[in-house]
Amino acid sequence: MSQTTTGEFTTPTTTTPTLAAAATAANWKAIVTQKQEECKRKIPPAWLLPESITSALKLPLDTNPNKLLELDIPRRSGILTEHELSITEDFTVGELLGKLAAGQLSSVEVTVAFSKRAAIAQQLTRCLTETFFEEAQKRAAELDERRARGEPLGPLHGLPISLKDTFHIKGQETNIGYVALVGSVQTSNSALVDILLELGAVLYVKTNIPQTLMTADSDNHVYGRVLNPHNTAINAGGSSGGEGALISFRGSLLGVGTDAAGSVRIPALCCGIYGFKPSTARIPYGGQARSELPRLGQILAVDGPLAKDFDSLEFFFKTVLDAEPTRFDSTALHAPFRSNAQLLASKDGKLTVGILAEDPVYPLQPPVKRIINEAVIKLLAAGHRIVQLDAAECQIDGANEIAMEMFRLDASVLPNMIAQGGEPPVPSVAALYGSPQPDRFRHIAGIEKLQGLHRQAFLNLKRHQVKEAWRKIWINNKLDVVLGPGAQNTAVRHDTYGWAPYTCLLNVLEYPAVVIPFSSASKSKEPEHFTMPERTTGPDYVPDLVDGAPGSVQLFAPAMRDEECLLAARIVDECLRER
C-alpha cells in the first residue's frame, strides 16, 4: 500500500493508487462483498444470533425503530452464560479491574464475555470493523499466567478495551472505511496502542467510522452503517460512531475514539454514554491513519475515551498520562496528570457555571432547550452559581466559519481518496462536501482575496481572536466551567445530522470537554414537529422518531485545564443524577 508515514501520522497518499484502488475503479462492490464476507467469518458460529431473534426484528433496521436495548437480546439469545452476562452488565471498569486484580475473575473469562457481546452488537448495529477474538483470548491467557506468577503489567492488566478503526494494531487491517485501502494490514502500532499494551490491556475489536472520518453519520461502503442501540432508525454519531454503539450495548465498557470536530462527544450524546475530549496533544495521537494532510489546517484531532461510567474517563486519562506519553510519541506534550487540581474560580465548593448561549444560526431543538434548562435548575438547587453568557460574545457561528475554512485547506484529499477506490460518496459525505456550502461559511471578510499560506495565516489570526475573546469571558465572569448543549439535537434520522457547531467550537478553542448523559427526548413534553427557520441550519425535530433518544449536556474548561474540567464534570454529573 502506498502511504506517507511520519512520527505522527500514517496518511494514505493521493497521487499513486493502491492495488486495491486500481482494481475497484471497475468492481469496488466485489471488493466490498469479499471484505464483508471475511468479517462475517471471523465471528464464531456459536456466537451467531438465532433466527428466532433476527426474525422478530423490524426490517430494514435503519428505517424501522428497533429499540435493541429494551429487547435484551444478549440474554434472550442464549449466547452468553449467566456469568458472562453478569460480567458485562453488573460492573464498572473500576470494579472489573478490582476483581481481575484479586483473582476473582480471569482475563480470559472477561475477554470472552465482552467478545461475545461485541459480536452480538456487530450483528445488530454494524459497530465493528476488524475483530480479532482469538488473538485477544491468547493475550488474555498470557496475562492470566503472568498474574499467577506475580508479574502484573500495569493498571489495565486483563481489561478488554475497544479502539476506533483509525488506530493501527500490528497485524490488523486499517482501511478507515475507504475501498481503496481495503487489505492495508499494519506492521506497527499507533503510539496509544503501545501504551495500552504496556499497561496490560487486551485489544479485541476495532470500531466503525464514516467514510472520510468527517461526518457525524458513521456510514461507509466497506463495513456499512452504524445503528443506534437505543433506536436503529436514528444515528449513532460520528466519527467514532462504532465506539458509541458498542459501549451503549455494553460490548465494551471503555473505548477510545478521536475528535477533530466532535467525533468523541457526538457518539457519546447520541448513544447515551460519557465522552471526554482532552486538550490537544495530552493523549498521544501519533501513528494513526488519517485521510487528510497532517497539520495543514491546524485543527488537530485528539484521542479521547468513551465509557459507560464517569469514573472511567478520569481513570483512562490519568493512567495514560502516568505512562509518560512522550516516550511513545514526539508530538505528545509532557504534561503529567495534576492530582492537585482545584476549581478555577470558586473557593467554597460550589461551581460558577457559564451557560453557553444558543447561537441564532444554529437553533436548538425543543428537547435540547428543555434538557439544558433542567440541568440549570438542578445546579441552582444545589447552590451552584449560574452566569448566562451572551450569544455574540460566544462567537459560535464565527468559530465554525473558521473551522470550515480550515478543513477546506486540504479538501481535495477526501474526494481523491474516494475516487481512488472507484466508490461513490455515502449520503452524509455527499451532503456536506459534494455541493457548494451555504454562504454562511463564506463571509469571513477578506478571505476571498487570499490563497495558500496567506489564507492559512489569516485563518490562524481569526482563530487567535476567538481564543482571546474567550479568555476574557473566563476572566470577566470568574467562571469555573461552561455548560451547554453538545449539539442542536439528540440523535436524529440517519444522514440528517449535518454540521456539528456546538462541539466544533471547542476544537477551534482546543478546550477539554465532557459529554454527560442526562434526560431524554420526549414527544409528550415536546409534541410539536420543529422545522429549522430560514437562514439557519440543522436537522428538524421529529417527535415520534426521536422519542426516548438519550439527552446530554456538554461541559468544558480552558485549554490544558483537563483535570479541572473532569473535577467539575464529576460534580455536575453527581448533581444531575440526584433525584
Q: What is the pLDDT of residues 235-276, one digit of tens each?
A: 999 999 999 999 999 999 999 999 999 999 999 999 999 999
Q: Would the pLDDT of 159 be above 90?
A: yes
Which helix H or strand E contains 49, and what residues bound it?
Answer: none
Domain boundary among 281, 310, 327: 327
Distance CA(240)–CA(256), nearest Å, equals: 8
pLDDT tier for residue 77 given thresholds of 50, 70 and 90:
very high
430 occurs within a structural domain: yes
462 occurs within a structural domain: yes
Sheet holding 3-5, edge to edge: 3-5, 9-12, 288-289
Q: Do residues 411 and 487 share a domain?
A: yes
Q: Do residues 141 and 226 share a domain?
A: yes
What region, left, alpha or beta, does residue 425 occupy, with left being phi > 0 and alpha being psi -120 to 50 degrees? beta
408 occurs within a structural domain: yes
**Picking from 41-50, 342-351, 508-517, which range would have the lowest pLDDT averaged per residue?**
342-351
- Nearest 5°: phi and psi at 328? -110, -20
Q: CB under 8 Å to 124, separation ≥6 — which residues?
A: 49, 57, 61, 68, 73, 227, 229, 232, 249
Q: How many domains does the chain have?
A: 2
Q: Do residues 479 and 422 share a domain?
A: yes
71 occurs within a structural domain: no
Report pLDDT for 432: 81
Report pLDDT for 292: 65
407/38: higher pLDDT: 38
Report pLDDT for 457: 93
Answer for the pair 522, 545: CB distance below 8 angstroms, yes or no: no
Residue range 445-463: mean pLDDT, rounded: 90
Q: Do residues 256 and 371 share a domain?
A: no
Report pLDDT for 294: 63
Residue 179, Cβ neighbours under 10 Å: how many? 27
If we measure between CA atoms, which residue out of 161, 191, 204 comes closest to residue 315? 161
What region, left, alpha or beta, does residue 81 occupy, with left being phi > 0 and alpha being psi -120 to 50 degrees? beta
The alpha-helical segments, DSSP class H, found in 395-519 are 396-408, 413-420, 427-433, 452-477, 501-509
Q: Do residues 253 and 384 share a domain?
A: no
345 occurs within a structural domain: no
Length of the chain in residues, anyone?
579
179-237 confidence digits (pLDDT tens):
999 999 999 999 999 999 999 999 999 999 999 999 999 999 999 999 999 999 999 99
51-66 confidence digits (pLDDT tens):
999 999 999 999 999 9
Strand runs (DSSP E) across 185-341, as ranges?
Answer: 202-207, 219-220, 224-225, 227-228, 231-235, 254-259, 274-277, 288-289, 302-307
Q: What is the CATH number of the domain that holds 123?
A: 3.90.1300.10
Q: Would the pLDDT of 6 be above 70?
A: no
Q: Do residues 434 and 484 share a domain?
A: yes
Distance CA(290)–CA(303), nearest Å, equals: 13
pLDDT tier for residue 434 given thresholds of 50, 70 and 90:
low
Q: Do residues 386 and 311 share a domain?
A: no
- Nearest 5°: phi and psi at 19? -60, -40
Q: Would the pLDDT of 439 be above 90?
A: no
Q: Do residues 304 and 405 share a domain?
A: no
Residue 383, Cβ neighbours under 10 Å: how many? 11
Answer for the pair 508, 248: CB distance below 8 angstroms, yes or no: no
Report pLDDT for 25: 57
137 occurs within a structural domain: yes
Q: Do residues 272 and 371 share a domain?
A: no
pLDDT tier for residue 23 given thresholds of 50, 70 and 90:
very low
344/560: higher pLDDT: 560
379 occurs within a structural domain: yes
Q: Do residues 232 and 321 share a domain?
A: yes
18/77: higher pLDDT: 77
Active site residues: 164, 239, 263
Q: Do residues 415 and 521 share a domain?
A: yes
Answer for the pair 552, 495: CB distance below 8 angstroms, yes or no: no
Q: Would the pLDDT of 511 be above 60?
A: yes
Report pLDDT for 411: 72
Domain boundary among 327, 362, 383: 327
Burial class (CB in 10 A: 0-12, 13-18, 19+), 236: buried
346 occurs within a structural domain: no
Domain boundary among 327, 362, 390: 327
Q: Would the pLDDT of 410 be above 80?
A: no
Q: What average pLDDT is seen over the chain?
A: 93
Q: Would the pLDDT of 13 be above 80?
A: no
Which residues, listed in sequence order, are joined to residue 256 by a DSSP beta bridge? Answer: 163, 305
512-558 confidence digits (pLDDT tens):
999 999 999 999 999 999 999 998 999 999 999 999 999 999 999 99
% of residues, the chain, pLDDT over 90: 85
Q: Do residues 42 and 142 share a domain?
A: yes
Sequence letter at residue 381? A
% of residues, the chain, pLDDT over 70: 92
Report pLDDT for 578: 87
Residue numbers of the domain that contains 550:
352-577
431/123: higher pLDDT: 123
**Picking from 16-30, 89-103, 107-121, 530-544, which range would have the lowest pLDDT averaged per residue?**
16-30
